[in-house]
Amino acid sequence: MFDTNHIFTVLLPQIREIIKKVEGFNDCYTADDYLQEAYLACLQAKKAYQRTKTGARTKMQFPVFCQWYITKRLCRMADTGEVAYQIYTRDGEYMETLYNGEFRKVKKEYEKDGCRFRSVRVVEDLFRNWDGREIEIQLEGDINGNSASIEETIEKKGMIYG
């Protein structure tokens, strides 16, 4: 029915664009890793498409379905929680910070409201306080893209232990 190698070759420019978007989400994977995952997703998309076509639940053509399936798979692969999105009102006031998975669910609603977004890398470090219990500190970039130092974050959150 569908030649997966041909579809993958045709979609390769779009796949490379998807990879460019998700490549900076974590340091674990290279572009080659994402390409391999995209090929596997293309193979799985063929099976998934045949299942949905028999159930008549989709009107998408296979190449469109395949691109959607690959995008979904690569975004899930890249989302390790290292990237978060800061959301600002149209007036520039900070609203909240959401991890990638949460952000994707509400992005369209915020876009309708005219909100702006800024991606930041979140670094999570574990520290131990004076009684040996672990405490978690999240360091986030400021509005200018500068990361706060550990000392500034601890001082700001009032987490100084003897």
pLDDT, tens only, 119-147? 876 654 444 444 545 555 454 554 444 44
Q: Which segments of 28-88 are extended strands (E)?
A: 83-88
pLDDT value at residue 157: 46
Over residues 72-80, mean pLDDT = 82
Tally of CB atoms within 10 A around 84: 21
Q: Please tell me the pTM assigned to this model.
A: 0.53
pLDDT, tens only, 33-49? 999 999 999 999 988 88
pLDDT value at residue 1: 54
Angle (CA) 141-144-145 rounded to 5° is 40
Question: What is the chain's Cα-based Rg?
Answer: 21
SS3 41: helix
pLDDT, tens only, 100-122? 778 888 989 999 999 998 887 66
Residue 154, pLDDT > 50, answer no
pLDDT value at residue 139: 47
User: Where do the structural domains in the chain lie, given as residue ranges?
Assistant: 4-78, 81-120, 122-162
Q: What is the dihedral of CA 76, 12, 45, 27, to 10 degrees?
A: -20
Residue 26, pLDDT > 50, answer yes
